Chains A and B, each alone.
Chain A
């Protein structure tokens, strides 16, 4: 048995991993089933006992077909961004095809290279945790396969050299010269190489120059919350089911309930469309920002500005799980906030946007609570906003064509709304109320229009071609008429603002998945959503969601399954993957460098502080209270002692095996029974008669007899027992073991001179 015995199998696994990685990255599972099955079949067809191979002409023709298929696919969709996906697919197909051909180590290298090309190509299209996991496994497995390939290559070269020799007699075949346990040592070398390569790779990963604040860009196209609406991307968005936080919605009596409608949790408020950047932004120059600081007690609410907080408010409790953000997600309209950490929150009174801009991102276990008034009175809003809300004035929306489209819609649906408002003569308040009512009616009509059959919700925007000079909102409204929630919200906001209706785009989450068992909403990245708030009064805003409600229903219906009960495991790892790896950018690098500098400067005190912080976190997580530190210390001490004991035991066992010259065939039970001999040797050493390795025990006893006759006489029965156990297959029962143990203790005492 040599390391090469399973070479072919490992090569097949390599191709399977590459195909899996590609399929996971591109969400192309048909390819996985076809190519995976083919790769598995090659194990029987080509590498099995029959050893059937495809002839060269057949592999050439099939390769040409695959190549032509890739060319045609590219010509069908000549998008440079998809070129590497086609290259990756071609690599997968050719690698699997190669498995069916007659091949040597040289051809196997081509298989490895094609697999690597496929995986590198797939890296450009995905960053999700599962894909990363497959890639890491693939990379580490590749290390082993390359090493095996080198061995096979050496063997092939040696065979080829022998084959080329011409002689009168047959040249003897190559005999692989090998020492003892080649497989074990090969595995050891593979593991060593893998570990060192990973350490080096991590080192390069940490110091590789990156852009500042590139973490968000690194996330690529994936459902999730962003603080702005960017309509420049036209790729396929990946559905992510990662759990980001949970929400408990309690009625004024404090009973967790499920809200009749989906809970729309506001994260960012965007009220200005930038045609140049093709994205929605927040208005600059916010002068009225206020800060509130929480005490760290989750039951102590701090008012966000309202003069008095009535008792009949709903309580929204958010527990962060795997979202690294400083935003606070709250339903309209938050009046007070509490947090289990002392934090400083910033509130924009004009739109009640909450963010922790001082302390930084909310941690994984952070919990904050908000007192919500779902239908706030104008006075409540006025008390919070004060002068922050500017006087009513028409918004600016300079996108040619949108107003015409809005007028067309109104002309078809409600022509009366296009006519100018006529003063009723009942006063300014009545005129203003009419204006607000008309705005609301227009928004309703636009919402109804966008929810119509002409518009289609999709996450695949690859056919939404962005053209220079054509605004994406206009293109969405008049040409393509498909997109995801951000397009729908942008369309509605664009239509409204073009008609002079003040409105804003809201991004956040919509909580639809209610878990009865825990009485909480589970909010996932796929629940990220965008909608519109239209101003319907001097102090009131109303939510309009142009995205079809069927989409939300689908989100809720397809969410729960048995797998979701275990999803938290995956989500934790996914969170770590995203927050520590995918979004690692120049800023994180600088922070890391600073911490390292602090650590070096503080001479290791930083570690102590970190340990304290970790213990605080763990204590808080398990809710152990002040006495928890004693428990934690006890557990740490016990774990430390256990580690020391295990290491000592392993070292002792290893030494016993060396002393006994015992191979792996000797069971551990026998080793344990003969272990007393180690103490006998120690006693000899303590008596000044250390046993040379080459001397047999009984012969050494004669030498001890000359120097320390008392020790020798005491040791003689023990040595005889050792002979019986080691070479005579004698098993020691419990009483014999106790007797031997006592004798050894006496011997050690005697050897140290304590007993005569």
Chain B
């Protein structure tokens, strides 16, 4: 914990006014001016005492913000507790301090921020304040130190307290909503369908009989049927089976070796590919599709096909954690056959049909504009420009 005093511009102006009044009181026999001069001096002393006393032994705790998303406000909450027994806290600004080291994961390289503001906290009382960050890129964002600063009550002398408390959070890639028709096309047969699952019970269509296993409900036993060995059988029902999609992001080629036109930003194209994948994953899961993820060229585990928001979070976290500076791996990855799931491969520069089976979709970042529900929104993206992207790669992408 580090305490510091600051004399700001208002303090200098105040000091100048005080000296002027003191000068006037010296040359004029006016006791009222002398008293005002004393009052001004007294306020300077008070300003230091109160701002210092209020922040003395202040306790600050950052509450885990879980994750953020590119270009979306990320709320970071803090729990502030005044350490003074008598002096309440007023007008305290809480802000994150850069680590000061050349660290690419420091939050300052990620986001613009608006600090938190505490109007009041009584002695020993805990209040919660929130700061807002707007991340500008995807990745692991680190918070390092916290600073509480206050120049209350008179704004003359500021006091700041800095404490070190590290926290790492993920910034998910930027996403846009994909057209439902496009998702249907990717799935190759519309959204819907069913499959026989292992579940039993009274819900769902009749699918068949199977032997009784310990744990099966008594209500699912088919009392009119028995096995030859007289053991009971249970009714197996068909569960709704959502369509499945496997997203493959082709990152096998190192950034510097991407086959893009001169002048193109290679790293941006890679980020666009990741955003494209995240957008498809998000829209698909929202439509009830089970989505799996394979990252070709990156040593990260495959994510199985699942649905639900929790799985979406895992997908996005996986995409957020992709380190494009890491060493790329050669060779293909295992892709399930077409009867298991639809496959969408997103390439960065050129389509490579060897990745994925014959029915797989091969897309480029330039295709995002065709898939997006509101293509106009893409113009606001700082990195994505569909026209430029298409022009950079010289490849319009290929369908299955």
Chain A interface residues toward B at CB < 8 A: 2-4, 109, 113, 116, 120, 123-124, 127, 131-132, 135, 139, 143, 146-147, 149-151, 153-155, 157-158, 161-162, 164-172, 174-182, 185-186, 188-189, 193, 196-205, 208-211, 214, 217-218, 581-582, 584-585
Contacts and interface: CB of A to CB of B under 8 A. Distances in A.
Interface stretch (B26-34, B57-65, B232-240): B26-34
A158 B112 contact: no
For B42, B50, B93, B154, the residue with the greatest tally of chain A CB atoms inside 10 Å of its CB is B42
Contacts of A109: 10
B134 A167 contact: yes
Contacts of B25: 208
B42 to A, nearest CB: 3
Contacts of B303: none
A120 B21 contact: yes
A204 B37 contact: yes
B41 A146 contact: no
A165 B42 contact: no
A146 B134 contact: no
B119 A123 contact: no
A189 B153 contact: yes
Nearest to A203: B38
16 contacts: A109-B10, A116-B17, A120-B36, A123-B33, A150-B90, A150-B91, A154-B152, A158-B117, A171-B73, A172-B75, A177-B80, A177-B121, A178-B127, A179-B127, A199-B42, A218-B30
Contact of B72 (A139, A169, A178, A214): A169
B52 interface: no
Nearest to B28: A124
A151 B127 CA distance: 17
B127 A123 contact: no
Contacts of A179: 88, 120-122, 125, 127
A185 B61 CA distance: 24
Given A124-B30, A139-B36, A150-B151, A158 B121 contact: no
B117 A205 contact: no
Contacts of A585: 29
Interface residues on B, range: 35 or more
Contacts of B31: 127, 205, 218, 581-582, 584
B386 interface: no
Contacts of B153: 146-147, 150, 189, 193
A498 to B, nearest CB: 35
B132 A189 contact: no
Contacts of A116: 17
A581 B121 CA distance: 40
Interface in B87-142: 87-88, 90-91, 93, 112-122, 125, 127-130, 132, 134
A167 B72 contact: yes
Contacts of A209: 26
B35 A158 contact: no
Given A143-B43, A210-B29, A181 B122 contact: yes
Given A149-B155, A177-B129, A189-B90, 9 more contacts: A139-B36, A176-B119, A177-B119, A179-B88, A182-B119, A197-B39, A198-B42, A210-B29, A581-B35
A82 to B, nearest CB: 15
Overall SS of chain A's interface? helix
B191 interface: no
Contact of A150 (B88, B116, B155): B155
Given A165-B112, A193-B46, A120 B73 contact: no
A115 to B, nearest CB: 12
Interface string B7-31: 0001000000100010011101111
B73 A167 contact: yes
Given A2-B119, A169-B73, A177 B127 contact: yes
Contacts of A2: 119-120
B45 interface: yes
A688 to B, nearest CB: 31
A580 to B, nearest CB: 10
A161 B114 CA distance: 5
Given A179-B125, A185-B122, A203-B38, A123 B32 contact: yes
A403 B72 CA distance: 96
A161 B115 contact: yes
A162 B91 contact: no
A158 B93 contact: yes
A210 B34 CA distance: 10
Nearest to A135: B32
Contact of B29 (A131, A143, A217): A217
A178 B120 contact: yes
B120 A155 contact: no
Contacts of B113: 161, 165
B71 interface: yes
A162 B114 contact: yes
Contact of A204 (B10, B24, B34, B121): B34
B155 A164 contact: no
A151 B91 contact: yes
Contact of B35 (A155, A170, A180, A201): A201
Contacts of B114: 158, 161-162, 164-165, 171
A218 B35 CA distance: 14
A630 to B, nearest CB: 41
A158 B87 CA distance: 23
B141 to A, nearest CB: 15
Nearest to A217: B29
Contacts of B21: 120
B38 A204 contact: yes
Given A154-B117, A177-B116, A205 B38 contact: yes
Contacts of A127: 30-32
B259 to A, nearest CB: 32
A198 B39 contact: yes
Nearest to B153: A147
A150 B154 contact: yes
